[in-house]
Amino acid sequence: MARIWKHDFTLEALNASGRNTLMEHLDIELIDSGDDYLEARMPVDERTVQPMGILHGGASVVLAETLGSLASTLCIEDLSKQTAVGVEINANHLRSVPAGQVVIGRVSPIRVGRTIQVWQIDIRNAEGKAVCVSRLTIAIVPRRS
């Protein structure tokens, strides 16, 4: 697939954009990118588990929305005039992950339009087994002053 990003970026810059946000609080870190995907890792620890000691489904959704929102923003032509806002997200939780492990999320486009974008986010455990599949719909709207 051809490069979809409208802006040049580095993983370091994307990670820096998450300082003082939920992304930093959960230690979500961008680790890879390609012409049409981004990947990030998130630890399964005291910040991201449910009381039973396994990955909380909400933490998976945070990882999914973080990846989708970053990807969406990179596809906006003029960031001074437009911004990305989440409209809908769903997630199917397929496998539990115990504390002490890491999950990897990968976002790829389903549709990148001028006003609506739809993203697929696949989250896997360290063994590459599917943990969660998510779909995020983003609206591209005028930036408010």
Q: Which of 12, 24, 29, 65 is catalytic?
A: 65
**Backbone phi and psi for residue 57, each to the nearest 5 degrees, phi listed first:** -60, -35
Residue 127: active-site member: no
3-state class percentages of the chain: helix first, strand second, coil last, to nearest 5: 20, 40, 40
Q: How many helices (H) and strands (E) does the chain have?
A: 3, 6
Q: Which residue has the tokens 């997200």?
A: 89
Measure Cα distances from 73 to 48, 53, 107, 110, 139 in Å: 25, 34, 13, 15, 11
Catalytic residue set: 65
